[in-house]
Structures are given as C-alpha cells and as structure tokens.
C-alpha cells in the first residue's frame, strides 16, 4: 500500500466512530504528511513524534 492509499484509507475508515478514533486518525495523517514533506517513503519515529506534538497543540491550543 502506498502513502496515498494509506492516507485515504485512514481518513475515511473510522473517522466517525468516536473521538479517540478521530484523534488517532489525525495523528496518522499528520505523521504521513511529515513523511511526505521530508521526502521519505517510510514513516520514521521523528514523524510520529511530530504528529503527536502537533495533535496535542491542536487539542489544547498550546503555542
């Protein structure tokens, strides 16, 4: 599965189930976006950390 298919699958598979699934989906999409932005084909630990930090910033409105 390539990155585009993974993004589409994750975006639409469980986005409406519950709040935690939505936050998880947002984190996954942000990790994939970070991977693409940095020109990689594989999600690294750095991408995951960046995605969670961004998710927490969005959740708690921390600057």
Q: How confident is the model at residue 59 (pLDDT cuts 50, 70, 90)?
A: confident
What is the predicted pLDDT for the residue at 51? 93
| 2/40: higher pLDDT | 40
Q: Residues with Cβ < 8 Å from 13, sequence gap 6 or more?
A: 25
What is the predicted pLDDT for the residue at 50? 93
Q: What is the pLDDT of residues 1-37, one digit of tens each?
A: 577 777 777 776 655 556 566 677 888 889 999 999 9
φ and ψ of 14, to 5 deg: -135, 25
Domain that holds residue 45: 3-60
The number of domains in the chain is 1
What is the predicted pLDDT for the residue at 21? 65
């Amino acid at each position: 599965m390539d990155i585009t298919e993974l993004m589409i699958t994750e975006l639409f598979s469980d986005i409406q189930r519950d709040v935690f699934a939505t936050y998880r989906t947002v984190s996954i999409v942000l990790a994939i976006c970070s991977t693409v932005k940095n020109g990689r084909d594989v999600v690294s630990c750095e991408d995951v950390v960046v995605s969670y930090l961004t998710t927490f910033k969005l959740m708690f409105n921390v600057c």
